Chain A
Amino acid sequence: MSETTQKLRDGPNLDKENVVLEVDTLRKTFGGLVATNDASFQVEKGTITGLIGPNGAGKSTLFNLITGFYEEDSGRVTVNGVDVTDAEPHEVAEEGLIRTFQTPRKLEGMTVREAMLVGAQDQIGESFVSLFTRPGEVAEQERKTLEDAHRILEEFEIGHLAAQSATDLSGGQMKLVELARAMLAEPEVLLLDEPVAGVNPTLANKLRDQIARLNEQGVTFCIIEHDMDFIMNLADPIIVLDQGSVLVEGPPDAVRNDDRVIDAYLGGPGE
């Protein structure tokens, strides 16, 4: 096709190069309700891809399908060419697809630092036997992870929270910690589910700066967000979901002014 990515297009752009996450005709029904209706889209490496849509458009369901928390009725998900359609959530994560949750998950009885350390992947010390057979390696890896955790917390300007109880954080701080923890996992793609929902504007700006910074370092993002200012200033391209499938995809300005998008949000004619 000759269309450039600068223009808005009907449905998803499926001709991207360097695709890191590909969703192919995913379908999920809950009883009679079609939550995800043959949705397809691609996330290109190095981008921040925004995923927007009115309430009930199926954004969170899509995330849960991609990350293995829901079983899809049909369709395919691949990460870097690896099929993860039927994988367990932890197997999806091992392929480099890390997600955050809409409501931040608090870890009872853990400090921020401990909560961070859980994000690290491929830990020798997570094998019961290795704790006894390879204690030296465990210690070495743990030391490195701990230093990384502190470094990342410092980069997020929340180093002072390291020793604080994870349950004492504000919602915004928790979101920052979640993002920081996800970075410890060194993900290929980071799926963020409403990163600034319920976060005050100052912290939201901070989050946006952090996401932009990480993106410059080469992390690919796919973000669900309702806050239009936030997502429009951050993501490109924007994918608009409506009624379980992709309505349009394009750059923020084009999406913002598109009648169909406005109709979808305001409950216009549609179908």
Chain B
Amino acid sequence: MTETDARPSVTSDPRGYWAALTGAERGVAAFVAAMLVLLLWGLVSGGLGPTYFMYLVGLVGMYILLSFGLNVQWGYAGLINFSVAAFFGLGAYGTALLTATSSPLTGGMDPILGFFPVPIVGIFVGLGLAAVLAVVIGIPTLRLRADYLAIASLGLAEVVRLVMLNQRDWTNGSAGLRGIPGFFDVWPVIGDLPQTLPELRFQELEVGLPGVWTTRILGFTIGESFWSQTMNVLLVTVFVAVTYLVLRRVHQSPWGRVLRTIRSDEDLAEALGKDTYSLKMQSFVLGSVIMALAGVFYAHLNLFVSPGDLNPINTFYVWIAVILGGSGSNRGAMFGGFVIIAIQEGTRFIGGALPESLPIDMPSFLGFVESTYTTVVDNFASTRLLAVGIIIILVMRYRPEGVLPPQRELIWPSAARTADVSGGVVTGSQVDDSPGPDDEGQRAHDGVEDTVHDADDATDDVESTGGTDAADGNQPDGGTDATDGADANAGDDATRGGDDDE
């Protein structure tokens, strides 16, 4: 069958694992590795404070959640939702209104019954608000063609933002809500953890070859703020992991399959007896709730929310993440979320890292070069939109399906594995053998050539074996290995942007 047949495990056979990856997967892995090296260097050299580093990791997690949400709507069902920021904002305001000390509604609630932390209620309030709004906007638009939802959601985003801005009695208007506690602040025991954890002091070191080149590294202190950011990272890791597991289960199932059919041809889905309105609604609400979860996390990460967080640009960042990563692919959404933060923060740091004036003395008639350079460096942060624009154009031109397009057949994995199908169960090579819908090795679909290749392989199989259980011999190995890689990554690497495998 395909070369991914018995997919090597990343732990036992790293070289074989690398060889089995598609070109795009290698590129992504290399990119993520390079970013991590850069980040580590920034951390070690003191250019990037450890607390801020953890904050960034939290933001990556938040963008991954947002991308997951939009991916459920656009990637799975083809629903065009331009109000990502609104659902995100509802999540953020939902929990903030309940917990913030400056909240005009509650003035910051004490733990219920003296111990039950309010942020947990905040999750349900935020998610509930988003779900209700999703249903309300879905009822009139989801029966119509896709464009109506797009237009309505574009308006909805503005409506929600303007309500937050102008409904001062409820939301403090443009002043925003301050004094939101960290998610764990009010928890018994856990809430005191950042204070009780030890303070670690890293002495400044001078490294390098004395006399030739030296630089100073470390020289920072890890203290309370770092520990509380670390707890935020743990929190978002849990959010991402849970969401990912839920999505993985529902996507590779009859449910996910019908959604993909709807995305492709809604009339056909109807003709085959599928209640497309109901399924679109489910996908829309699910996606919106995930976006609101990102909002809840953001409120407790940033400790301040304002109507500015609902600006439309945030919606489009998420769209870019999903399109860049590959619509319909969860790990694509992870990668996209990671790239967005890399661009947003990278442009900030590169601007600071570059010399302020051109290091070469130019002859006077080339003065414009120098002045252009200074202008660009001074305003480097504002090149991020340019960078985003260029990336989108390049992706659309050279890889319209996204960097990591979906590669799996949407078939319940355990069923695909056990089905007794003549000609060899091709899914056997793509599916692992853990219970329930789980990870699988990938189909070698990576563009058209591979699709054709796949078909050829299948044909070969039929011809060469013709037997019933042709592929069975290979299945357990390939499957198990895929799972190993997957499970390790799903939990640990989720916040890093799912660098190698789902």
Chain A interface residues (CB < 8 Å from chain B): 67-69, 88-90, 93-94, 98-101, 105-111, 113-115, 117-121, 123-128, 131-132, 135, 138-143, 145-147, 150-151, 154, 159-165, 168, 181, 185
Contact = CB atoms under 8 A, between A and B. Distances in A.
14 contacts: A88-B270, A90-B276, A98-B271, A108-B263, A109-B260, A115-B261, A118-B258, A126-B274, A139-B412, A142-B412, A146-B416, A150-B419, A163-B458, A168-B455
B272 interface: yes
Given A117-B411, A118-B258, A165 B454 contact: yes
Nearest to A67: B271
A101 B427 CA distance: 29
Given A93-B273, A142-B412, A181-B272, A160 B255 contact: no
Instruction: Tell which of B273, B274, B435 has the most Cβ of chain A within 10 Å.
Output: B273
Contacts of B21: none
Which of A90, A114, A140 counts the most B-chain CB atoms under 10 A from its CB? A90
Interface string B427-465: 100000001110000000100000110110111001000
Given A126-B255, A163-B455, A150 B272 contact: no
Contact of A161 (B254, B258, B271, B455): B455
B336 to A, nearest CB: 18
Contacts of A181: 272
Interface string B351-369: 0000000000000000000
Contacts of B265: 105-107
B449 to A, nearest CB: 11
A147 B455 contact: no
Interface in B259-284: 260-261, 263-265, 267-276, 279, 282
Contacts of A162: 423, 426, 458
Contacts of A90: 269-276
Contact of B411 (A135, A146, A168): A146
B421 A138 contact: no
Given A118-B257, A162-B426, A131 B250 contact: yes
SS of B interface (majority):
helix
A8 to B, nearest CB: 33
Contact of A109 (B249, B406, B419): B406
A121 B257 contact: no
Contacts of B419: 143, 146-147, 150
Given A118-B258, A181-B272, A138 B455 contact: no
B254 A168 contact: no
Contacts of B260: 107, 109-110, 114
Given A126-B254, A159-B423, A160-B423, A135 B272 contact: no
A119 B272 CA distance: 6
A168 B261 CA distance: 16
Contacts of B415: 138-143, 145-146
B226 to A, nearest CB: 37
Contacts of A110: 257, 260-261, 264, 409-410
A93 B268 CA distance: 11
B455 A164 contact: yes
A119 B437 CA distance: 21
B409 A111 contact: yes
A158 B150 CA distance: 40
B422 interface: yes
B409 A94 contact: no
A124 B275 CA distance: 14
A154 B422 contact: yes
A126 B250 CA distance: 9
B58 interface: no
B485 interface: no
A161 to B, nearest CB: 7
Given A107-B268, A165-B451, A127 B255 contact: yes
Interface residues of B, number: 55
Nearest to A142: B415
A177 to B, nearest CB: 12
A100 B268 CA distance: 8
A139 B416 CA distance: 9
A84 to B, nearest CB: 12
A93 B80 CA distance: 27
B106 interface: no
B51 to A, nearest CB: 38
A40 to B, nearest CB: 23
A127 B451 CA distance: 30
B271 A93 contact: yes
A178 to B, nearest CB: 9
A115 B409 CA distance: 10
Contacts of B271: 67, 69, 89-90, 93, 98-101
B273 A94 contact: yes
Given A159-B462, A162-B426, A113 B409 contact: yes
Given A68-B270, A69-B271, A118-B269, 20 more contacts: A90-B269, A93-B272, A93-B273, A100-B271, A105-B264, A108-B263, A109-B328, A113-B411, A113-B426, A117-B254, A128-B286, A139-B415, A142-B253, A150-B423, A151-B422, A154-B423, A161-B458, A164-B451, A164-B454, A165-B454
Given A147-B420, A165-B445, A168-B452, A131 B253 contact: yes
Contacts of B452: 168
B414 interface: yes
Contacts of B457: 163
Nearest to A93: B273
A70 to B, nearest CB: 12
Contacts of B426: 113, 162-163
Given A121-B273, A132-B249, A160 B264 contact: no
B418 interface: yes
B190 to A, nearest CB: 28
A134 to B, nearest CB: 12
Q: Which of B268, B426, B459 has the most CB of A within 10 A?
A: B268
Interface in B265-316: 265, 267-276, 279, 282, 286
Contacts of B437: 131, 135
A178 B458 CA distance: 20
Contacts of A120: 254
B279 to A, nearest CB: 8
Contacts of A89: 267, 270-271
Contacts of B423: 150, 154, 159-160, 162
Contacts of B420: 147
B218 to A, nearest CB: 47
Contacts of A163: 426, 454-455, 457-458
For the complex of A and B, the 6 pairs showing the least CB-CB separation, nearest first, are: A93-B273, A125-B254, A142-B415, A164-B455, A89-B270, A143-B415
A93 B435 CA distance: 33
A149 to B, nearest CB: 8
